[in-house]
Amino acid sequence: MNSNVRQQLDALLAARILILDGAMGTMIQRHQLTDADFRGSRFADHPRDLKGDNDLLVLTRPDVIAGIHRQYLEAGSDIIETNTFNSTAVSQADYGLQSIVYELNFEGAKLAKQACDEWSAKTPGRPRFVAGSMGPTNTTLSISPDVNNPAFRTTTFDALCEAYRDQVRGLIDGGCDLLLLETIFDTLSAKAALVAIQEVFESRIPNPESRPPLMISVTVTDRSGRTLSGQTVDAFWTTVAHVKPFSVGINCALGARDMRPYMAELARVADCYISCYPNAGLPNAFGQYDELPKETGEYLRDFAASGFVNIVGGCCGTTPEHIAAIAAKVKDVAPRPIGRAKARPYVHHSDDVQQDESAVVGPSFSSTSRWPRSGS
């Protein structure tokens, strides 16, 4: 870990809005990979079905993952995420691959770091950074999956902590510059991750200044304005503010238009950097995302011009084309000042996407939006 990463990021964020990458799953789907691609030679005889375990591709098709990283860097990303969203023992248990989670995280971080180093060398005045992606896992500590047994849980707080500890160790050893705890729908599960991160930091990186900055991103699951476990945005911030994150933000589930009131609220209450990486709108009847790069870019320019954000990118359905459009739209907009700054008034631009009243003023409570998987 480079002890100057925080200072570099602070200097960059004082000058401009930084660009995160877009969806990994969307880009993987473009390659139309087969089961053989996921298995490679190493897992050719593995007894479980492995197609769809996108994280495994860092071992079996590293060329595909590295190529996607480079496409996002070329599109203008300052920060790219590792392909490790599901690289915990809890999530990899679906594939019978719990034993390789450290390796998945180590190699995922290493691949992303190599791509960033290449682009940092090409543009010395513009360093690139790797954020270690830590997803919410496929379980929850706050809600029972059994309607007949409200006390039932599929895992425990301690087991989830241990799973996240293995992930954090691999990400750090692989060279991550930041850690990104993302797509949080259950704050208690996120607390397990935060405990794990702190424990690894204390045992492996005694000097706080040398620790990777921590980014936290929550998911508002629909226009109710709450997480799946029932928290509002300001309540979520209250429960994680004590860890003093580098940034806090919102990603997934909604497109930017429907995210606007919640971004405004988060920018009002949080005193750290703010991130936002929405889906490319809501999925259509076929589960595909139709929002064009130009539209996503214009929505995020609105967020930037309104003083909501410091870091922007894309989640489900977004591509390098979306990231390039976002980067072009926000490049001349001043970043949100640190602290609970008052949002700047929104100035309408003639080529902005027309927004309906619920998107600008506040949420609607009649949404039937679906819950898409992050990175799809």
Provide the CATH number for the domain around residue 60: 3.20.20.330
Structurally, how many domains does the chain consist of? 1
Does pLDDT of 375 surpass 80?
no
Q: What is the domain extent for residue 198?
A: 5-360
Angle between helices 157-173 and 187-204 (to 10 degrees): 50
Dihedral-angle region of residue 76 (phi above 0 means left; psi in -120 to 50 means alpha; beta otherwise):
left
In-domain check, residue 376:
no
Rounded to 10 degrees, what is the CA torsion of 21, 23, 27, 29?
170
Task: State phi, psi for 273 to the nearest 5 degrees.
Answer: -65, 150
**pLDDT tens-place string over residues 330-360:** 999 999 998 654 444 434 343 444 333 333 3
Would you say the pTM of this structure is higher than 0.95?
Answer: no
In-domain check, residue 375:
no
In-domain check, residue 314:
yes
Q: Is the dihedral of CA 220, 224, 225, 229 positive or negative?
A: negative
181 touches 134 (CB < 8 A): yes
In-domain check, residue 370:
no
Residues 110-136 have a mean pLDDT of: 97
In-domain check, residue 371:
no
CA contacts within 13 A on the Cβ side of 22: 29
Range from 23-37, 145-159, 211-225, 244-258 carrying the lowest mean pLDDT: 145-159
In-domain check, residue 372:
no
